[in-house]
Amino acid sequence: MRDLYNLHKFYSNGKSSKKLNNRRKSFGYQVLGFGSGGAAALVTNDNGLFGYGDTSGHVSMTNKVANTGVVATDTTGVGTARMSLAATQYGGDKAIFGFGIIGGGGTKTAVTNLVSNSGVVATDVAGVGTARYGLAACSFDSQDKGIFVYGANSAGTYVGTSNIVSSAGVIASDVCCASELRYLVCGCEFGGDKGLIGLGYGPGHEWQSITNMVSNTGVIASDVSFTGTGRQGASGNSYGGDKGIFAYGYMAGGLNTSSLVSDVGVVGTDVSGVGTVRDTPGGCEYGQDKGIIGYGGGPKNMTNLVSNTGVVSADVTGVGTARAEIAACSYN
């Protein structure tokens, strides 16, 4: 299994401590907290999609997730094979994969691939913004828009930028983030119309237990610390329509710890681990109010379902090609 503690050394030039390498269900309810100001429509999707990743080389295949949480066999890959990318929803029922590492030399890219509301992945779209890897993504504005945040660039330097995805799937240019730079972060949605970026590995060579809220207009807030295990390479997804979860990851070894995110973006204390310890799995929603976490370092291909109350299930036998540093999103 790739040692993620040393992943920054593998891809960096080593010159600085900052170097590394349509079925929709809507409800009305009052949102409290950051960026609130009225009722948010909770928009969730029926199906999920795992895509790309690393086996003994970079791949581009995908695996669909049914609205019952069943993972399908491999679908032939479309677009540039890569790993350590991110994915998010946009337009209410569609999704996008973006950025990552390509080629044996660790080249970074900003290429993206749109996903239709039937789960079909489109060919490459030329990259916009800083090419990077180890970034996070989530949706906001009731899943109408998305955002890619943080990561490390081609020079191996931590990146404090974000790129908003419009409701038509168009990536905007870089916007600076005034917060702790880090990579191997994760993201999820909460509160119906906001997002949360969390965890990661910082420039001082430390695992972070901080989060940054993404408002319903895509503005990233300053750092908030929480009580829980700091780690890198965790997965993130929403559940229950308005809550989220960060799960698994790496902190001096693989973990299976999870942390629940409330409907106002507060991260709870550690929840005892369930399932196989691993890093860099993907996480997404399915069945409109549940989640699934799958694949990961090893590489592995088992999955773990997340109930609509945030309970993580035991391992489900893997389907499809085992791979690490994968991305996942929901659609439909």
The amino acid occupying position 284 is: C
Q: pLDDT value at position 177? A: 83
Q: pLDDT value at position 155? A: 85
Task: Output the domain CATH number for residue 213.
Answer: 2.120.10.80
Let me know how long the chain is: 332
Q: pLDDT value at position 98? A: 98
Cβ neighbors of 81 (< 8 A, separation 6 or more) are 52, 57, 58, 59, 60, 102
Angle at CA of residue 66, ends 63 and 70, nearest 5°? 75
Tens place of pLDDT per residue across the chain (332 aa): 333 334 433 333 333 333 343 333 333 333 333 444 444 556 689 999 999 999 989 999 999 999 999 999 999 999 999 999 999 999 999 999 999 999 878 899 999 999 999 999 999 999 899 999 999 999 999 999 999 999 999 888 999 999 999 999 999 999 998 788 999 999 999 999 999 999 999 888 899 999 999 999 999 999 999 999 999 999 999 999 999 999 999 999 999 999 999 999 999 999 988 999 999 999 999 999 999 999 999 999 999 999 999 999 999 999 999 999 999 999 99
Structure-token pair, residue 19: 């170097």
Domain limits for position 99:
4-331
Which residues partner with 213 through β-bridges? 196
Q: How many domains would you assign to the chain? A: 1
